[in-house]
Structure 1
Amino acid sequence: MGKNVLIVDDAAFMRMMIKDILGKNGYNVVGEAENGAIAVQKFEELNPDLVIMDITMPEMDGIDAVREIRSKDSNANIIMCSAMGQQAMVIESIQAGAKDFIVKPFQADRVIEAVNKVIG
């Protein structure tokens, strides 16, 4: 059985791209969220094996959402997404509890490599 993934990004086309990459590689996308606040709710509802989380989003950013999710489930597997040149945010997200990060624009093999490394 494929692992369940929650995708969090405020851009619908980014969620669609990730969903497509994961689907082709045997993962189930069980939910999507467009900001960190919804991500926290969906995480509790769906209990996914992995969350792929954008950093910059309205309402609640990815770093706060990681802290919130990790406070509820210290074993939560989260991979952060960031645009080029956000190294400080990437470091902060790893400190907040993310297990890996992928840089936009996505390369399918890098996405799958990160996912396999975290929940393979």
Structure 2
Amino acid sequence: MATVLIVDDAKFMRMTLGNMLKTSEHRVIGEAETGAQAIEKYRELLPDIVTMDITMPEMSGIEAVRLIVKEYPHAKIIMCSAMGQQKLVVEAIEAGAKDFIVKPFDESRVVEAINRAIS
């Protein structure tokens, strides 16, 4: 079982991901709406996995990944992107993200990405 921090500026997306994870063996221990909040929550909760939206106000998910990975090199972060954000996904992986999942979310793909990141 992995502990998960969900980062997305859309409450609906956080809820959707949270519900998918409840049906798997993973546990959501926190949520954040911005990249800056994600960094604070990461420090506070030290989750096994982070699902990180790319496009958010204030600080992008990619910037947040860079800062988290700089401080915590072993952080496991999975990017969440909408269709057509391939260039950003590549940038996110270069910044230190382990994987990415595409919105709209496919439950089996989400759980598979988390299981792969923790193994």
Secondary structure in structure 1 of the residue aligned to 2:25: coil
Residue in structure 1 matched with residue 39 of structure 2 by the alignment: 40
Which contiguous aligned blocks of 4+ residues in structure 1 show a shift greater than 6 angstroms?
A: none
Deviations 1:12-62 (CA, angstroms, capped at 9, x unpaired) = 010000001111101110000001000000000000000000000001110
The alignment status of 1:53 with 2:79, answered yes or no, reads: no
Unaligned regions of 5+ residues in structure 2, if any?
A: none
Q: TM-score by structure 1 length?
A: 0.98
One-letter amino acid of the structure 2 residue matched with residue 88 of structure 1: K
Residue in structure 1 matched with residue 86 of structure 2 by the alignment: 87
Secondary structure in structure 1 of the residue aligned to 2:84: coil
One-letter amino acid of the structure 2 residue matched with residue 10 of structure 1: D
Residue in structure 2 matched with residue 71 of structure 1 by the alignment: 70
Q: TM-score by structure 2 length?
A: 0.98
What's the % identity of the aligned pairs?
60
Secondary structure in structure 2 of the residue aligned to 1:103: strand
Separation in 2, partners of 1:112, 1:31: 17
One-letter amino acid of the structure 2 residue matched with residue 7 of structure 1: I
Once the two structures are TM-superposed, the CA of residue 94 in structure 1 deviates from its matched residue by 0.2
Separation in 1, partners of 2:73, 2:27: 22
Once the two structures are TM-superposed, the CA of residue 3 in structure 1 deviates from its matched residue by 1.3
Once the two structures are TM-superposed, the CA of residue 103 in structure 1 deviates from its matched residue by 0.3
Give RMSD over aligned pairs: 0.6
The aligned length equals 119
